[in-house]
Copies of this chain bind each other. A is one copy, B any other.
Amino acid sequence: MRARLLEATVELLVERGFAGTSTTLVSERAGVSRGAQLHHFPTKNDLVVAAVEHLTERRGAELAAAVAELPAGGRRTRAVVEMLGDHFSSPVFAAALELWVAARTDAELLAAVGPLEQRVGREAHRMTVAALGADESRPGVRELVQATLDLVRGLGLASTITDDSARRRRILREWADVLDKELAPCRSPR
């Protein structure tokens, strides 16, 4: 029942945004009575904060699953960045974005979302480093991985109102080529 409420909350975040996600709508969508909802989550903030955590777990699981299915061979870097690009253009990202923006002007929400997102960010970083087989001990490598994640975040933001996947693919392909050159373990390119 908790799960149903959280799922409904995430759905409504994607469809109607944070402001459009009223607690009444959530209880209706989840098929849960208003009283039951208020029993589990006394206030809207409680509900949404719990939804953040739920969402975080889903994001982590989806990322891990996507990494596991990566092809081993040749164009691995391209596959990794395309996977990241897809992930950060998914509805899951849209829901997270709603929370992110809402938290910017809501101190209570920020206190809950901030640390969580930081944790997810670190995990995504670890995963990406592992997936790319990058050597973080080399100077600059860590920054380029971070840049990759910030890039897909920016692309994801753009995709929420203009979904130009062809443009995204071209950019990520070029980025992957740059990464391949910069991350190559031998023959320092500098």
Contacts and interface: CB of A to CB of B under 8 A. Distances in A.
Interface of A: 15-20, 94, 97-98, 100-106, 110, 113-114, 117-118, 140, 143-144, 146-147, 149-158, 160-162, 167, 170-171, 173-175, 177-178, 181-182, 189
Determine the main DSSP class of A at the interface with B.
Answer: helix
Nearest to A169: B143
Given A118-B162, A144-B178, A178-B182, 19 more contacts: A17-B102, A17-B104, A18-B19, A97-B101, A100-B161, A104-B161, A110-B161, A113-B161, A114-B161, A143-B174, A144-B174, A146-B167, A147-B175, A152-B154, A153-B153, A153-B154, A153-B158, A154-B155, A181-B189
A97 B152 CA distance: 16
Nearest to A17: B105
Contacts of A178: 144, 178, 182
A76 B46 CA distance: 48
A174 B147 contact: yes
Contacts of A101: 17, 97-98, 101, 160
Contacts of A105: 15-17, 20
A157 B102 contact: no
Nearest to A151: B151
Closest 5 CB pairs of A and B: A154-B154, A153-B154, A150-B154, A143-B174, A19-B19
11 contacts: A17-B106, A18-B19, A19-B102, A97-B101, A100-B161, A101-B101, A113-B161, A117-B162, A143-B175, A151-B151, A151-B154
Contacts of A158: 150, 153
A67 to B, nearest CB: 20
Contacts of A173: 143
